[in-house]
Amino acid sequence: MVRWYIPCRGLSSHEDLSSSTVSSALHCLRHSLSTLSVGALSLMYSCILDVSSWIVASTLTNVADFLQRLRTRVRVGVVGGSDLSKIKEQLGADVIQKVDYVFAENGLVAYKNGQLLSVQSIQAHMGEELLQDFINFCLNYMASIKLPKKRGTFIEFRNGMLNVSPVGRSCSQEERIEFYELDQKEKIREKFVSALKEEFKGKGLSFSIGGQISFDVFPDGWDKRYCLGIVEKDHYSTIHFFGDKTKPGGNDYEIFSDPRTVGHEVSCPEDTRRLCEQLFFC
């Protein structure tokens, strides 16, 4: 339930209701009711956008305009597996001021209303021994893979997860596409994840393949659903999620299929924009 408090200048609880006072109150009430539909919608609904599902083909100007317009109707959050610096590259350096929530690393680094809200640590959760065993296994496995190209930053250590890239995150855009096309045919990442699941069975680790060149590793429950625990504390009646990797094994699957969200599968930025127009502006 949304409660509305309508302050009216010149009217107090001990004051006689003169005609001028009543007129002032009615004018204030009409003004408040005229904005009720937009305000109530904004308070009742939250819209969480996966970064990779709609940013790639957009310019920063288009993104900023879209987010500003969307925020007039709903509370807006963005979630991504990448760290905050990468999200800033995609959405602009002032992204935490552009939206109501920013969830970097699946929400393990969370911002609300422009302020840092919380940070989780995979190192503290896993412990150094398991962490080193995992990293060593990954390095040995990748040493046995022959690829057209290999570059640098094969394991990226983040606050709430590890990101593993067989080709290396420092590859060029052309090399990224080359690896992705090969991965589609030979299932390089899928086989890698299968080997990790077997080696570290029972260790409380989850794996999520997303993007074009890497996969994420994190403690069970630290996928994108983690951000829902933050959003639901604000008591929205509906949480909409928009993502592209929504099939089992994709890094949007868990949050997309979570009963706390209304999931929308999108394939491109235009698809996301169209759905938002239908849902929140019609």
**Nearest alpha carbon to residue 158 among 216, 242, 100:** 216
Spell out where 221-271 has E strands. Answer: 238-243, 262-265
Of residues 199, 219, 198, the one with CA closest to residue 207: 219
Instruction: Write out the binding residues for Mg(2+).
Output: 244, 256, 258, 261
Taking the CA atoms of 252, 255, 258 and 263 in sequence, report the sign of the dihedral they define: negative
Question: Who contacts 281 (Cβ-Cβ below 8 Å, separation ≥6)?
Answer: 73
* 279-to-148, 243, 263 alpha-carbon distances in Å: 45, 15, 12
Binding residues: 158, 169, 176, 214, 216, 244, 256, 258, 261
What residue numbers does the annotated binding site for alpha-D-mannose 1-phosphate cover?
158, 169, 176, 214, 216
Distance CA 108, CA 224 (A): 9
Helices (H), 77-233: 84-91, 95-98, 122-126, 128-143, 173-186, 188-199, 226-231
What contacts 274, CB < 8 A, 6 or more positions away?
none
